[in-house]
Amino acid sequence: MGEFVRVETADGIATIRLDRPKMNALNRQVQEEIRDCARQVDADPEVYAVVLYGGEKVFAAGADVKEMAGMSYADMAVHSATLQDCFTAVAEIGKPVIAAVTGYALGGGCELALCADIRIVGESAKLGQPEILLGIIPGAGGTQRLPRLVGPARAKDLIFTGRHVSAAEALQIGLVDRVVPDADVHTEALAYAAQFKGGPALAVRAAKQAVDRGLETDLATGLEIERLQFSGLFATEDARDGMRAFAEKTKATFTGR
């Protein structure tokens, strides 16, 4: 349990809760606490899905610019690897991850949301990668995850201009997956996550890894990744129970083994 980031678990759903007043600025401490929380929920067999949440007012307004301003090239050459590792820890959680976005998700905040599998945002949310306006570029995955999600041209538009996009535009370009009333964001994210409780956790993890790793390579290699994940699941009790239940027209009971 960190000072600014904590894990709240209930009914098989873990919420990674950012709570650094006033705007959840992502300084080095917050980044490291996010990494630690991500590893905690990934390793917890009682957790079936994860929600990223910054509270009712803001998801995360970005990196702590005051902290960055005092860093030299030598400082950032070292820290940038840690920064990316912290966000990658979220992207590599082997369970469905839902970003519940209210208010601003800018810079590092947007990059954190990009690490999720699904993004549910409030109607008044604003997203963007405004680093260019500081004379820098996104450094926590924005130049890589954003174009993979919305395409290179749209990603370049957002990164080159640094402009904020509304929830409606974000939905239109595929940056987010669902827009709901602001007051319903967290509830909707929890409801989406709830469907995975008691599900085939090993198969979900394999599916996530197959999709994510496949996007990083050519089709032939991606198909081989899929083949290995697919065949590997036949060594699990969940697969045997699932197919037996189908044949017997009963409901499968998955145990994650």
Q: Say whether both 18 and 90 belong to one domain.
A: yes
Per annotation, catalytic residue among 67, 111, 169, 237: 111
Per annotation, catalytic residue among 131, 169, 226, 237: 131
Q: Which residues pair with 17 in a beta bridge?
A: 6, 53
- Please confirm, yes or no, whether 131 is among the known catalytic residues: yes
pLDDT at 182 exceeding the cut of 80:
yes
pLDDT of 109-146, one tens digit each? Answer: 999 999 999 999 999 999 999 999 999 999 999 999 99
**Mean pLDDT value across residues 6-20:** 96
Per the domain annotation, does 257 fall within a domain? no
Up-side HSE of residue 190: CA atoms within 13 Å toward CB?
A: 15
Q: Say whether both 143 and 213 belong to one domain.
A: no
Q: Say whether both 66 and 33 belong to one domain.
A: yes
Q: Say whether both 175 and 215 belong to one domain.
A: no
How far apart CA 207 and CA 220 sit, in angstroms, is: 17
Kindly indicate the confidence band of residue 62, based on its pLDDT and cuts at 50, 70 and 90: confident
Helix (H) or strand (E) holding 105: strand 104-106
> Coil, strand or helix: which one is 104?
strand
Q: Which residues pair with 127 in a beta bridge?
A: 105, 165
pTM of the model: 0.94
Q: Say whether both 48 and 107 belong to one domain.
A: yes
Write down the H helix ranges in the chain. 28-43, 65-69, 73-91, 108-114, 142-150, 152-161, 167-173, 185-194, 201-214, 219-232, 237-248
Q: How many domains, the chain?
A: 2
The overall average pLDDT reported for the chain is: 95
CA angle 250–255–256, rounded 5-degree value: 125
CATH number of the CATH domain containing 217: 1.10.12.10
Q: Say whether both 182 and 209 belong to one domain.
A: no
CATH number of the CATH domain containing 15: 3.90.226.10
Per the domain annotation, does 135 fall within a domain? yes
Q: Say whether both 207 and 190 belong to one domain.
A: no
Q: Say whether both 40 and 146 belong to one domain.
A: yes
How far apart CA 239 and CA 157 sit, in angstroms, is: 44
- Please confirm, yes or no, whether 111 is among the known catalytic residues: yes
Domain span at residue 55 reads 5-194
